[in-house]
Amino acid sequence: MTEHQAAAPPEPATGGVIELLGLLAYASLVAFFRLADDASLATELSDKADLAEMAVAQFGHFQLLSGHISELGANPQQAMRPFVEPIDEFHARTAPSDWLEGLVKAYVGDGIAADFYRVIAELLDEQTRTIVLTVLADSGHSQFVITRVRGAIAADPAVAGRLALWARRLVGEALSQAQRVAAEREQLAALLAGGSAAQLGEIGRMFAALTDAHAQRMSALGLAD
């Protein structure tokens, strides 16, 4: 090993990576609580159990992500703290008023999270990428939602318009909180932009890709978007 080689080791975990993991960990923890809460809107025991299963998957993600933060030598509570306000605000603004809205929110949230994990996996160091891909592989608990929502629309077509509006509002609120986070957290924005905080256009393109994937999910649900 020469001096020169030793001077260029694999990049250590940057502040941006810790911030990203903190954001994802807190988002997962809150998703756990929100899904468990929304499941209580279900009247059928089997529906309750299905949504509870999605909640439990989110808690597994939280454990993986916060475990990785600790492994990187950072404090998970501290890493999550900056994201408490924007994520809590998102959920406060998007409390489902009934079971169907809860289902759509679970499905939309799960889908956007999976897309986001897929995009960021490429930007991360090997070890963090493995964690993110593990979380990603555990997604897909929301497939049962498609049957339920399509069934509800078949029974009452008027439901489709209301749920499509609801889904659009969910994405709007998510994007507005995401832009706020990107603006406030420079290191995180730099990481997502692939190295330069100035490349905020990159983040815009990432959001655009996520929005496209969202439109496809809306079709799957039978909701024209």
Binding status of residue 196 toward a second copy by CB under 8 A: no
Q: Three-state SS for 224? A: coil
Question: DSSP characters for 14-79?
Answer: PHHHHHHHHHHHHHHHHHHHHHHHHHTT-SSHHHHHHHHHHHHHHHHHHHHHHHHHHHTT--HHHH
Q: Which is nearer to a second copy, 5 or 46 (CB)?
A: 46
Which of 18, 21, 62, 217 is the binder for a second copy (CB under 8 A)? 62
In this structure, what are the phi and psi dihedrals at residue 142, rounded to the nearest 5 degrees? -100, 5
Which of 18, 24, 55, 171 is the binder for a second copy (CB under 8 A)? 55
Q: Which of 216, 219, 103, 213 is nearest to 166 (CA)?
A: 103
Q: Which is nearer to a second copy, 81 or 205 (CB)?
A: 81
Piece of 55-63, 124-132, 161-169, 205-213 that binds a second copy (CB under 8 A): 55-63
Binding status of residue 103 toward a second copy by CB under 8 A: no
Min dist. Cβ of residue 96 to a second copy (A): 16
Pairwise CA distance, residues 137 & 204, whole Å? 26
Rg of the chain over Cα atoms, rounded to whole angstroms, equals: 19
Piece of 61-69, 98-106, 173-181, 206-214 that binds a second copy (CB under 8 A): 61-69
Binding status of residue 59 toward a second copy by CB under 8 A: yes
Tell me which DSSP letter residue 98 carries.
S
Residue numbers of the site for a second copy (CB under 8 A)?
A: 26, 29, 32-33, 36-37, 39-40, 44-46, 48-49, 52-53, 55-56, 59-60, 62-63, 66, 76-77, 80-81, 84
